[in-house]
Amino acid sequence: AQSVTQLDSQVPVFEEAPVELRCNYSSSVSVYLFWYVQYPNQGLQLLLKYLSGSTLVESINGFEAEFNKSQTSFHLRKPSVHISDTAEYFCAVSTPQGGSEKLVFGKGTKLTVNP
Amino acid sequence: EAQVTQNPRYLITVTGKKLTVTCSQNMNHEYMSWYRQDPGLGLRQIYYSMNVEVTDKGDVPEGYKVSRKEKRNFPLILESPSPNQTSLYFCASSFAQTPYGYTFGSGTRLTVV
């Protein structure tokens, strides 16, 4: 079975600073990896995903994540954050071996961007 | 607009009173799923469905029932709610063959007193 560990429950940063939200996964088979974002009082939105191919994936709002198989990690980064990036971020894993219906989430990281 | 619609958004009920949270999607997705979100625990899968009449337990199925009689609908039933089922519930759907990840509804905040 797969599992996800998000190493930081809360990350406070100042506006325009860089940020990294850490995610490690555990799986005995190949994986699909996702980052979701949840803005206050809203549902989850898909931010970006890794399925195969290039290990660096990007979102439309400046976030990127890199799949590192040897370190079983999928950390999320942004070089310069905005106040509007304040949200909770969830890393999730599923597998291509008929397991994509079982998307397993980490416990989330609350990113707070301060002025 | 492609979406997953949950109702109600907020619900306060009493222990033991049966309730149903509805979920509907208009994207012709095969997979549908229910998650609950609790502080510090992230999202945990309750039940999922791979297609009509095909459902299976997730990680925390106790106290819940589901049905999938039509492709678009996947209601969550709490036959005898208890206070430990107070939570934020999300319904989600996705295509089966293409791993785009789930599309989530806006959530249902349930309080059981």
The DSSP annotation for A30-79 comes to --EEEEEEE-TTS-EEEEEEE-SS-SEEE-TTS-EEEEETTTTEEEEEES
Token pair listed for A76: 């999320």
- Residue A17 amino acid letter: A
Average pLDDT value over all residues in chain B: 93
Question: A75 pLDDT exceeds 60?
Answer: yes
- At residue A98 the predicted structure's pLDDT band, cuts being 50, 70 and 90, is low
Give the integer Cα–Cα distance in Å for B31 and B4: 12
pLDDT (average), residues A102-113: 92
Q: Model confidence over A8-27: pLDDT tens digits?
A: 999 999 999 999 999 999 98
- In this structure, the strands spanning B108-112 and B10-13 are parallel
Chain-centroid distance, C-alpha B44: 11
Token pair listed for B57: 């337990």
Q: Is B63 on the interface with A (CB under 8 A)?
A: no
Q: Do A49 and B99 touch (CB under 8 A)?
A: yes
Q: Is B94 on the interface with A (CB under 8 A)?
A: yes
pLDDT (average), residues B32-56: 92
Token pair listed for A2: 């797969």
In contact, B36 and B16? CB cutoff 8 Å: no
- At residue A99 the predicted structure's pLDDT band, cuts being 50, 70 and 90, is low
- At residue B104 the predicted structure's pLDDT band, cuts being 50, 70 and 90, is very high
- At residue B1 the predicted structure's pLDDT band, cuts being 50, 70 and 90, is confident
Which pLDDT score is estimated for A100? 58
Strands, DSSP E only, in chain B? 4-7, 10-13, 19-25, 31-38, 42-51, 54-57, 65-66, 76-78, 87-94, 103-104, 108-112
Residues of A in contact with B94 (CB under 8 A): 100-101
pLDDT (average), residues A81-102: 84
Question: A66 pLDDT exceeds 60?
Answer: yes
Q: Model confidence over B53-103: pLDDT tens digits?
A: 999 998 899 999 999 999 999 999 999 999 999 999 999 998 876 667 789
Give the single-character DSSP code of B15: T
Give the integer Cα–Cα distance in Å for A110 and A37: 10
With CA atoms as reference, report the closest residue to B98 among A85, A52, A11, A25.
A52
- At residue B26 the predicted structure's pLDDT band, cuts being 50, 70 and 90, is very high
Which pLDDT score is estimated for B95? 85
Q: Is B95 on the interface with A (CB under 8 A)?
A: no
Q: Identify which of A36, A43, A105 has the shortest CB distance to residue B105.
A: A43
| Secondary structure class of B101 (helix, strand, coil) | coil
Place of tokens 């990690």: A73
Which pLDDT score is estimated for B99? 66
Cα of A16 to nearest chain B Cα, Å: 27
Residues of A in contact with B33 (CB under 8 A): 101, 103
In contact, A115 and A17? CB cutoff 8 Å: no
